[in-house]
């Protein structure tokens, strides 16, 4: 039996890559049901100040078709308590590159009364969508 009944993770998943796949697979190894939140375009624009290369509907379709993913939702907030109130997850999974980060330490405290744990999974070094991203005006042939 898996450690958690319902697990949750959330991200932009713009230009889906091997680091995303590894995190989702590792999360699924620890829970019976894995729900993945794909950040809404509007949310990404608000906190990252950039527009995703791939729109939210297409990113949701990609993530929904990953074998490890049981359910995929569009996430319109970064507030994990609000998300817990909707989904009632037992664990939220995040890359271990966030361990010790003030925001995630606060998230651990905020989720504790709900019995939800923050689980840090190995981050795939040397790869991120931000590093892979090519600005629209910089594409070859444009």
For residue 102, the domain's CATH number is 3.40.50.620
> Which residue segment(s) compose the domain that 116 sits in?
4-9+21-30+37-128
pLDDT greater than 90 at residue 104: yes
Confidence of residue 82 (pLDDT cuts 50, 70, 90): very high
**What pLDDT sits at residue 137?**
45
Three-class SS of the chain: CCCEEEEEEEECCCCCCHHHHHHHHHHHHCEEEEEEEEECHHHHHHHHCCCCCCCHHHHHHHHHCCCCCCEEEEECCCCHHHHHHHHCCCEEEEEHHHCCCHHHHHHHHHHHHHCCEEEEECCCCCCCHHHHCCCHHHCCCC
Average per-residue pLDDT in the chain?
Answer: 90
Confidence of residue 97 (pLDDT cuts 50, 70, 90): very high
pTM of the model: 0.87
Task: Please count the structural domains in the chain.
Answer: 1
**What pLDDT sits at residue 67?**
98
The answer to whether position 63 is within a domain reads yes
């Amino acid at each position: 039996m898996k450690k958690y009944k319902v697990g949750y993770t959330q991200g932009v998943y713009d230009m889906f890559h091997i680091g995303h796949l590894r995190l989702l697979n590792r999360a699924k190894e620890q829970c019976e049901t894995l729900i993945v939140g794909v950040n809404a375009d509007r949310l990404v624009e608000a906190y990252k100040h950039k527009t995703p290369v791939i729109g939210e509907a297409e990113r949701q379709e990609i993530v929904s078709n990953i074998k490890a993913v049981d359910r995929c939702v569009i996430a319109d907030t970064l507030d994990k308590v609000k998300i817990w109130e909707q989904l009632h997850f037992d664990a939220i999974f995040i890359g271990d590159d966030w361990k010790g980060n003030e925001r995630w330490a606060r998230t651990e405290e905020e989720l504790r009364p709900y019995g939800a744990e923050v689980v840090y999974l190995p981050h795939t070094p040397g790869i991120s969508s931000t590093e892979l991203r090519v600005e629209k005006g910089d594409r070859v042939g444009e």
